[in-house]
Amino acid sequence: MFFNQLVNNAGNEAGALNSLIKKSISEPNNLSDALNKIEDLDKYCSSIFMKAKDRRKVANPGSICYFLSYFWQIHDPQKWPILYTSLSNAYTELSIWEDQSSPKETYSYFFKLNEEIKGELSKYTKKEITNWDIEHALWRFTGGQVFAPAIKPKATEIPEATNAIIQTNESFKLSDYLIPKVANLVELGAQIDKSAAAKGSVYEKLVSEIFKQLEFHVEVLGQGSGRNPDAILRLREENTAFIVDAKAYSNGYSLGVDDRAIKEYINHYCPLLKKEGYKKIGFIIVSNSFKSNFDNFINEVTWTTDIKRFILLTSEALLYLLAYRTKDQFNISTIIESIIGFSNPVTSQTIIEKFDDV
C-alpha cells in the first residue's frame, strides 16, 4: 500500500521516484548508509505528505522505516531487523522505547536497541539469537494475560480461550469500525451450546455481509440452496472471483470428509465463472480457527484445478480486514492483493502486521 501510494502520487516525478526506490531498497553498506537512505525517502515523502489535502491517500513518512527495512531484511535477514509496529509497541510496554523526531532517528534507535537485546539474550541462552527470534518472541506481546485459565466451561457458555479476542498490537479499537450486525462473528463461531449446523446459517450470512461491506459483489448460496458453497464473490473490474465456504466450528475446523464437497464446488463453479469471463478464481474458507494441516490438499487443488489461490481466513482476520477498509478506505484491489499473498492461515495478526504500518 505504501508503494502504491508513492506511485499514485508521483505525477511528473515518476522517473525520479523510480531511481529513488531502486536506490532505497538496495541493501545498505552499513547503518550510516541505511539512515541516509531513510532520510532521502523521508524528504521525498514529506514534501508530498505536507501538501496533501487528504493525507490518507498519500504515503505516510511514518511508514518508511518499516517499508525499507522489510526489503533490507530480504538481502540479509540477520543484519537488518524489520521495524514492525508490534515491536515498537512491545518495547513501549516494556518501558525501553523512546519516540524519536524523525524516521532516520527512529530506525537508528531501533537498530541499536534490537542489537542490544539480541546480545543480552544470546548471553543468557548461550545460543545465537536472530532478528526472527526477536520478532516472533514479541509478536503477540502483551503486558497482561492473553488467555483465561483453561477451565472447562458449562454447556451454555462460550469457552473463554476461544471467545477472547487475543490482545493484539493494532493502533485502534476494532469495535469502533464495525457495525453491530457483524461485530459478533467470532463469538457466534465460538458458541458450544449449538451445533455447527444450527448456528451455521447465521454465521454464513454474517460472513457474506462482511464481504459485501468490503465491496465484493456477493451471491449468497449456503444452507437451503442444495449442495453449494456459502457464497460466490465477484469483482468484475479485476476479473477475479472467490468461492467461499464458512465453517462455524467452535473447536477449530479440520478438513475431514469435506475435501470431496470442496472439490465438487470447484468442479461445478470454476467452469461457470470462467465462462463469465473471470480469469482469476480463488477459494476461501472462513472459520474461527483451523486444526488440521491443509498443505497437501491445497497443493493438490491449486495444481489440478482452476483455483489459483486457496485461502484459510480466520473470523477475526476478516473483521480486521473490514475495520482497516473502513478506517483507511483501502480499495478492494488492495485487499485482494494482500490476502492472496499471505501464508495460511491468515490471522488477525497477519492483517495487523500488513495494514497497521501503512
DSSP symbols for 297-358: HHHHHHHHSSEEEEEEEEHHHHHHHHHHHHHH---HHHHHHHHTTSPSSB-HHHHHHHHTT-
H/E segment holding residue 247: strand 240-247
Each residue's pLDDT, cut to its tens digit, for the chain (358 residues) gives 778 888 888 777 788 888 999 999 999 999 999 999 999 999 998 888 888 777 777 788 888 999 999 999 999 999 999 998 778 877 877 888 888 889 999 999 999 999 999 999 999 988 999 998 888 777 655 443 333 333 333 333 333 333 333 444 556 678 778 888 888 898 888 887 666 666 788 899 999 999 999 999 999 986 555 578 999 999 998 899 999 999 988 778 887 757 888 999 999 999 999 999 999 999 999 999 988 778 889 999 999 999 999 999 999 999 999 998 888 887 888 888 888 988 899 998 889 888 875 4
Interatomic CA distance for residues 45 and 58, integer angstroms: 8
CB 265 within 8 A of CB 139: no
Interatomic CA distance for residues 250 and 287, integer angstroms: 9
**Structural domains of the chain, ranges and CATH numbers in brackets:** 2-137 (no CATH), 160-355 (3.40.91.30)
CB 166 within 8 A of CB 146: yes
- Pairing status of strand 240-247 against strand 307-314: unpaired
DSSP symbols for 279-300: -EEEEEEEES-B-S--HHHHHH
Instruction: DSSP letter for 246, please.
Output: E
Q: Model-level pTM?
A: 0.55
How many Cα atoms are found within 13 Å in the side-chain-facing hemisphere of 59? 25
Interatomic CA distance for residues 271 and 264, integer angstroms: 12
- Pairing status of strand 307-314 against strand 280-287: parallel
Interatomic CA distance for residues 94 and 116, integer angstroms: 15
